[in-house]
């Protein structure tokens, strides 16, 4: 990963590729690279869909190596949904292949003058860009099927569906999984709309003739990776719970806690949530000849995904994740897994963020467009998005836009990005992160539950309520760092509970780059990334008043605990004081 490719999509005479050394970004990957580059090079007041914005694709620091769990791809830009800086990441094969091709980043710049649609082919010989208007208005599944006929099965595809082409604010960027299905999405923030604005429909990554990235110290790296994998396999979450049930294992627990937002955040429990649970989902998948255990990229040892077949045993979609099952399920009063699975497929195919779309449909239900619990109605609304009708375009621009268009007061967004599946009135600490993250409401912004091991910010007494600000701050720092490694965030449980597994991760980073890596180094990286992101947002016009939850969280108690969000504004303003 010693080079960066810049592709000026607006160059006179057609897109132009410029290769350069990795330079000041050496040793960086993932979110660290995308955010530092965007913060430095993109005008914060630019239009996110204009020529001044840039779209950065960056594999993680350890992507393309033999290391386990190293397959996250980060995509960075100014977000058209939030107006803030954005990093959105996904699994799939793309990060590994891009890293083996030697790229620390590919950056799409400028904007084509015509409405031609381009595809970009990257292989060991370089980068070829060509117009292919036959790809217009293809959704992700038929698009990849068409591309496979030309480029085959030994490549990775990065694509946008029709939502990205139409520059809808909920549009995602799809990465293919090992079976070449476009199921892994950089979902949040409308990054797919930025790719659409650049006129790029597909990026084909072909690493034929390339080798794994070699570590500086191969023996040490191999040994550290072995210990890291052992740690993941022996932990009950990464070695048992996630492989057996996937992330949807959380449905029962969140519902029991009264933190499962239902009927557009009107109550914290859904009477029939058990029908949507990960346990029920896994049983159904196995019974229908699918699987409840599947990896989104080669080298994954957690295998939290699965294959969801229809009643006839035919592939319907990949295993919907917890947030998807919630957003299309309980949030909308729908308790049917088959409906959720069909909506998940439509999200992936059209190319939209499952959280944003599910929340938006719930807001549309609150607006009276359809009733809560209307399964067929929800599918019809998604079809509108796929067709690009006026209603579909409103919905495809997310919950905030839909709420404004239809005059809905209860719109669960922060910085115009939809809240995920955890009610901040029941789990107040998560509300702190939702409110203050640089990315708009995002549960993964403060997800790296290893702060006790990292000792980020020193020792915090977690049993004191006032510790929540410190916890959120430390979680956000740790997450920014892990997002930069290219590691899946689900490693966090094992490294939190097992110091030797965290040490193995540090040893992997150290052995690969030939340096000594400490927890302090990881913390410093996280702070550096967050500082750059905060600085970009401030220059884009965001103030502390934007670091707030919608008012209804402060004024409407939620059952069964009858809690409101109680964190004071002054406390929220302390999150980034380090």
Partner 1 sequence: MNGVPQASLVMTMGADRLGCFYPILQQGFGVPARVPCTVKELLCDQFGMDAGYVAERITTIFLNGKATDNIDKAVAGNGALLALSAAMPGLVGATMRRGGYYAAMRSAITLGEQDTTGSSSDGTVRVKLFNLLLPELGPEFLGRGILLTSAEAIEFFRDQEQDFWSGCARATLDDTLVAPKALKNGETFAGTAAVGLTVLFRKKG
Q: Which is nearest to 157 in space by CA: 115, 71, 105, 95? A: 95
Select from 393, 563, 572, 576 the one that contacts partner 1 (CB under 8 A).
563
81 binds partner 1 (CB under 8 A): no
**Distance of CA 568 to CAs 23, 417, 432, 576, 577, Å?**
43, 22, 10, 15, 16
Q: Does 343 bind partner 1 (CB under 8 A)?
A: no
Q: What is the nearest approach in angstroms of partner 1 to the Cβ of residue 541?
A: 29
Part in contact with partner 1 (CB under 8 A); list of ranges 2-10, 33-41, 136-144, 424-432: 424-432
| 549 in contact with partner 1 (CB under 8 A) | no
Report the distance separating Cα 406 and Cα 186, nearest Å: 28
Q: Which is nearer to partner 1, 8 or 470 (CB)?
A: 470
**CB-based contact 175:71 (threshold 8 Å):** no
Q: Where are the beta strands (DSSP E) in 384-448?
A: 413-414, 417-418
CA distances from 299 to 95, 100, 178, 244 (A): 12, 14, 10, 18
Give strand ranges (E) for 67-219: 73-78, 85-90, 103-109, 118-123, 126-131, 156-159, 173-175, 184-186, 200-205
**Smaller CB separation from partner 1, 434 or 536:** 434
Q: What are phi and psi of 205, to 5 degrees?
A: -110, 120
- Residue in 150, 298, 566, 569 binding partner 1, rule: CB under 8 A: 566
Residue 258 touching partner 1 (CB under 8 A):
yes
Tokens representing 365 are: 């239900």
**Least distance in Å: CB of 188 to partner 1?**
16
Q: How far apart are the first and last CA of the chain?
A: 32
Q: Should residue 557 be labelled a site residue for partner 1 when binding is judged by CB under 8 A? A: no
For CA atoms 192, 195, 201, 204, give the dihedral sign: negative
Using the contact rule CB under 8 A, the part of the chain among 47-55, 140-148, 235-243, 399-407 near partner 1 is: 235-243
Q: Does 280 bind partner 1 (CB under 8 A)?
A: yes
338 near partner 1 (CB under 8 A):
no
The token duo for 116 is: 């031609």
Q: Tell which one of 169, 401, 426, 439 touches partner 1 (CB under 8 A).
A: 426
| Distance from C-alpha of 578 to C-alpha of 575, rounded to nearest angstrom | 8
Q: β-strand 417-418 against 103-109: which pairing, if any?
A: unpaired
Q: CA 544, 530, 535 angle in degrees (round to 5)?
A: 55
Rounded alpha-carbon distances, angstroms, from residue 395 to 272, 367, 419, 485: 27, 12, 16, 34
Select from 40-48, 158-166, 192-200, 254-262 the region that touches partner 1 (CB under 8 A): 254-262
Should residue 237 be labelled a site residue for partner 1 when binding is judged by CB under 8 A? yes
* Of the residues 128, 130, 133, 465, which one makes contact with partner 1 according to CB under 8 A: 465
**In the bound complex, what is the minimum distance in angstroms from residue 348's beta carbon to partner 1?**
22
x/- mask, partner 1, residues 50-69, rule CB under 8 A, reads --------------------
Does position 277 bind partner 1 by CB under 8 A?
yes
242 near partner 1, judged by CB under 8 A: yes
* 324 sits near partner 1 (criterion: CB under 8 A): no
Of the pair 230, 279, the CB lying nearest partner 1 is at: 279
| Residue indicated by tokens 């599946």 | 421
Contacting residue, 1, 191, 193, 250, with partner 1 by CB under 8 A: 250
Instruction: List, in order, residues 6 or more apart from 251 with CB less than 8 Å away.
Output: 260, 273, 276, 277, 278, 322, 325, 326, 330
In whole angstroms, how close is the CB of 471 to partner 1 at the nearest point? 6
Identify the residue among 48, 197, 254, 439 touching partner 1 (CB under 8 A): 254
Instruction: Tell me which residue of 357, 411, 404 sits closest to 384, measured CA to CA.
Output: 357
| Number of residues forming the site for partner 1 (CB under 8 A) | 56
How many whole angstroms separate alpha carbon 165 and alpha carbon 198?
A: 9
Q: Does 468 sit near partner 1 (CB under 8 A)?
A: yes
Query: Distance (Å, rounded) from C-alpha 325 to C-alpha 319?
Result: 10
Binding residue (CB under 8 A) for partner 1 from 79, 88, 252, 293? 252
> How far apart are CB 183 and partner 1 at their closest, in Å?
19
- Binds partner 1 (CB under 8 A): choice among 32, 81, 98, 496: 496
CB 166 within 8 A of CB 350: no
H/E/C letters for each residue in 84-120? CEEEEEECCCHHHHHHHCCEEEEEEECCCCCCCCEEE
Could you tell me which stretch among 29-37, 40-48, 330-338, 555-563 binds partner 1 (CB under 8 A)? Answer: 555-563
Query: 6 or 184, CB closer to partner 1?
Result: 184
Q: Is 552 in the site for partner 1 (CB under 8 A)?
A: no
Which positions lie near partner 1, rule CB under 8 A? 236-238, 240-242, 244-245, 247, 249-250, 252-254, 256-259, 274-275, 277-280, 283, 287, 304, 422, 425-430, 443, 446-447, 449, 451-452, 462-465, 467-468, 471, 475, 490, 492-493, 496, 560-561, 563, 566
């Amino acid at each position: 990963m010693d080079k960066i490719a810049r592709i000026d999509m607006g160059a006179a005479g057609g897109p132009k590729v410029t290769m350069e050394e990795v330079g000041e970004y050496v040793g960086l990957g993932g979110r660290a690279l995308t955010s530092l580059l965007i913060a430095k090079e993109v005008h914060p007041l630019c239009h996110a869909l204009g020529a001044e914005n840039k779209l950065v694709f960056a594999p993680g620091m350890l992507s393309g190596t033999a290391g386990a769990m190293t397959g996250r791809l980060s995509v960075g830009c100014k977000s058209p949904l939030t107006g803030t800086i954005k990093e959105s990441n996904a699994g799939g094969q793309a990060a590994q292949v891009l890293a083996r091709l030697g790229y620390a980043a590919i950056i799409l710049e400028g904007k084509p003058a015509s409405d031609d649609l381009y595809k970009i082919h990257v292989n060991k010989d370089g980068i070829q860009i060509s117009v292919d208007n036959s790809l217009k208005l293809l959704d992700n599944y038929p698009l990849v099927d068409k591309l496979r006929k030309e480029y085959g099965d030994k490549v990775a595809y990065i694509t946008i569906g029709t939502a990205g082409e139409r520059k809808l604010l909920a549009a995602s960027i799809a990465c293919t999984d090992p079976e070449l299905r476009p199921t892994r999405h950089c979902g949040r923030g409308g990054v797919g709309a930025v790719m659409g604005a650049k006129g790029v429909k597909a990026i084909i990554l072909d690493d034929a003739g390339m080798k794994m990235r070699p570590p500086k110290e191969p023996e040490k790296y191999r040994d550290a990776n072995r210990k890291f994998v052992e740690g993941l396999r022996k932990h009950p979450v990464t070695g048992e719970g996630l492989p057996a049930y996937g992330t949807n294992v959380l449905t029962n627990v969140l519902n029991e806690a009264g933190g499962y937002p239902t009927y557009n955040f009107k109550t914290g429990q859904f009477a029939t949530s058990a029908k949507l649970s990960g346990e029920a989902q896994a049983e159904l998948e196995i019974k229908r000849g699918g699987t409840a255990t599947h990896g989104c990229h080669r080298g994954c040892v957690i295998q939290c995904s699965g294959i969801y077949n229809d009643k006839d045993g035919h592939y319907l979609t990949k295993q919907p994740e917890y947030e998807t099952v919630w957003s299309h399920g309980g949030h909308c009063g729908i308790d049917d897994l088959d409906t959720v699975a069909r909506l998940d497929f439509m999200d992936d195919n059209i190319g939209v963020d499952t959280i944003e779309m599910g929340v938006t449909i719930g807001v549309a239900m609150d607006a009276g467009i359809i009733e809560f619990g209307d399964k067929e109605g929800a599918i019809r609304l998604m079809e509108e998005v796929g067709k690009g009708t006026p209603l579909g375009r409103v919905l495809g621009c997310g919950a905030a836009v839909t709420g404004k268009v239809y005059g809905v007061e209860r719109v669960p967004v922060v910085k115009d990005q939809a809240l995920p599946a955890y009610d901040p009135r029941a789990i107040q600490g998560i509300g702190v992160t939702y409110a203050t993250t640089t990315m708009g409401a995002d549960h993964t912004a403060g997800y790296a539950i290893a702060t006790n091991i990292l000792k980020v910010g020193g020792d915090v007494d977690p049993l004191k309520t006032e510790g929540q600000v410190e916890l959120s701050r430390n979680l956000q720092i740790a997450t920014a760092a892990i997002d930069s490694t290219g590691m899946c965030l689900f490693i966090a449980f094992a490294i939190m509970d097992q110091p030797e597994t965290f040490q193995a991760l540090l040893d992997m980073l150290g052995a690969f780059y030939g340096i000594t890596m400490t927890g302090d180094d990881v913390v410093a990286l996280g702070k550096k990334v967050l500082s750059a992101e905060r600085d970009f947002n401030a220059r884009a016009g965001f103030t502390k008043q934007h670091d707030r939850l919608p008012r209804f969280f402060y004024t409407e108690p939620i059952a069964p605990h009858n809690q409101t969000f109680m964190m004071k504004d002054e406390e929220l303003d302390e999150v980034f004081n380090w």
